[in-house]
Amino acid sequence: MRTSDLLYDLLAKVSEVGRSLSSLSERAAGASPEALAGLCQDLLTGRGEATGLALARQILERVKVLSTAERAAFFEALRTRFGVNPERLRRAVERWQAEPSDEAARALHAAAEPRAQELIRQLNRVPGATATLVAMRRDLIRAMAENPGLRGLDEDFRHLFGSWFNRGFLELRTIDWSTPAAILEKIIRYEAVHAIADWDDLRRRVAAPDRRLYAFFHPALTQEPLIFVEVALTEAIPSAIGPILTEERPELAPKRATTAVFYSISNCQEGLRGVSFGNFLIKQVVEDLQAEFPGLRTFVTLSPVPGLRAWALEHAVGEEQAMVEALESDKAVAAEALAPLAARYLVEARHPRGGALDPVARFHLGNGARLEQINTGADTSERGRRNAWGVMVNYLYDLDHIEKNHEAYAEEGAIATASQVRRLLKSRRTAASA
């Protein structure tokens, strides 16, 4: 073929791709949720590389400008159109039943995968798409409040995110006063446990010599922290949050510190809910702190108890009920009365799917920590009083027993408790039987 003919064919193909891209742009602009789901169907038909990427980009751009109602309708369309193909699955099951080979098992596995997962993969081929997909799942989670039937689609997102955001991809960074202002602003905004009042408050948390803040980042979201933990270096296990956060506190020379206190852990991306980072974060931070400060011997949290008040209002019995009524009337209650109630909640109240009922307890106990100490009057903030009448808890990460505690909790639901917590439970049972 002559050079001129080759050039003509090439120009014709470029022109064809251009017309196709223009058509896709016209179809995506102003597309209804159902029509947008149709474009998703087109994406899965296996278009050419350039056309497929352009179509995926158009879909993502259009999803960004959908209204809340349109977005909910779009998610419903995805749920109904991109589930498991029942006929394909039936054939794969029959093949497995006829000949249960490795090849047949793999085919069955592929047939059982909802088509939504492949759609999400195709969308993620667009540069920068991961952040958009995380935001899309955030909106999906919110839509599930009105439409629980979307849970299956949410599972498809979470399944893929669990692979895309596994520990091997995560980067631990120390956040300090030299960190770019854009990231520091997000730390202020994302702090979920103890609000950061202003830039001076942030500086006390990241620039003081006896304070550290660590965050996980992902290569696809380089300017977006996924989760961060704030650490105070102290000489003893703290029993209240006030002395840690107050601006009048005396700074401690790090070489004198014997205890690292994890006093705030904040998940930053709502769209990554259910994707676990915290267990990796704690373990990595412990290693980094040990390397920087060899004198550290104790690793402990100062944690909120977010579910205590709601649980006690429903489950308090006997003398506990009178105490709860007093607390609700803002009357003073003796620590020796409130602490046993908190111990009962943390150790005996169980989640329907197993493990501790309290979400913070479930997180730390699942990581192998021990319920070390219950502190009344520890958090006098509005949130602290509203959630737990000011109660906070220390969970101890004993490096020699983390694995044993984790296995006992995971396999038997056994909660590792310090002797002082066991005494609180015993005193409560004695009082109840008297």
Q: Which are the catalytic amino acids?
A: 303, 364
Q: At what angle do helices 335-348 and 319-328 cross, to 10 degrees?
A: 110
- In this structure, what token pair is assigned to residue 343? 């111990």
Q: Angle at the Cα of 320 (from 318 to 326), degrees rounded to 5?
A: 120
Residue pair 302/378 in contact (Cβ under 8 Å)? The answer is yes
CA dihedral 129, 131, 134, 136 (to 10 degrees): -60
Q: How far apart are CA 220 and CA 226, in angstroms?
A: 11
Residue pair 231/265 in contact (Cβ under 8 Å)? The answer is no
Q: How far apart are CA 93 and CA 11, in angstroms?
A: 48
- In this structure, what token pair is assigned to residue 98? 């006829």
Closest CA to 397 of 376, 418, 411: 418
For residue 41, give the DSSP letter: H
Residue pair 223/130 in contact (Cβ under 8 Å)? The answer is no
